[in-house]
Amino acid sequence: MNQNLANPRVTSLPVRWTYLTTTFFLVLTGFGQMPIFKRYYIADIPGLGWLAEFFVTHYIHYLGAVVLLALAAYLLTDYLMSKRNSRRMTASGWVRMGLLAGMLASGGLLVIRNLAGTNFLPEFIIFMDVTHLGLVMVFLFVSLYCLIFKKHWTTGR
């Protein structure tokens, strides 16, 4: 327990790498939903041709969402059951959790939109598209800030 208090990173290395890899691919394939990688030669880089294949990026984005949902549920449950008494969320932790929750919620609605037989109002779909993209942009800037200034999700009580 003392070790945990001294070390602000209480999640294991595999969990951290899973989180980083998943968010990296989610952001990459998310931007891949816009027709930009082909236009701006990114998909011409050997090995990155798949970024111009919309059904591939769409599928990988969904796979990433599956992993992120499982990871979020795991970390939240783990925190509530094992770490709540010894650690508390930092301000930047709350902000990132809120942004992630917003992204998952807006993304979830877009997944429902993509099912056959779903008819959301066009204005609502546009709002969701813009919200999802906007939250990702803010999340990227906040994450960059946290990386530079070494802000952690939790700290000892």
Partner 1 sequence: MVQQISRRVFLKGGMAAAAGVAAASIPGTEALAGPDERKQLATLIDISKCIGCEGCVEACSEVNADNYPDPQKPFPKMVPDRVPVEDWSEKRDVTDRLTPYNWLFIQHADVEINGQEKELTIPRRCMHCVNPPCVKLCPWGAAQQQENGISRIDSDLCLGGSKCKKVCPWDIPQRQTGTGLYLDIMPSMAGNGVMYKCDRCYDRVADGELPACIEACPEDVQTIGPREEIIKKAHALAKEINGYIYGETENGGTNTIYVSPVPFEELNQAIDKGKGKPHLKPVEDTMAQANNLAAAMLIAPVAGIAAAVGKYFKRSKTVSKGA
Q: Which residues bind partner 1 (CB under 8 A)?
A: 33-36, 39-41, 54-55, 58-59, 62-63, 65-67, 69-78, 81-82, 108-109, 111-122, 124-126, 128-129
State the nearest-atom distance from the C-beta of 13 to partner 1, in Å: 15
Nearer to partner 1, 21 or 118 (CB): 118
CA separation, residue 82 to residues 7, 11, 18, 74, 88 (Å): 16, 12, 20, 12, 12
Tokens standing for residue 4: 């945990």
Tokens standing for residue 31: 């931007």
Nearer to partner 1, 64 or 151 (CB): 64
State the nearest-atom distance from the C-beta of 95 to partner 1, in Å: 22
State the nearest-atom distance from the C-beta of 1 to partner 1, in Å: 11
Nearer to partner 1, 70 or 144 (CB): 70
**What is the DSSP code (8-state) at residue 12?**
-
- Residue 88 burial by CB count (10 A; 0-12/13-18/19+): exposed, middle or buried? middle
State the nearest-atom distance from the C-beta of 38 to partner 1, in Å: 9
3-state secondary structure 57-103: HHHHHHHHHHHHHHHHHHHHHHHHHHHCCCEEECHHHHHHHHHHHHH
Nearer to partner 1, 65 or 103 (CB): 65
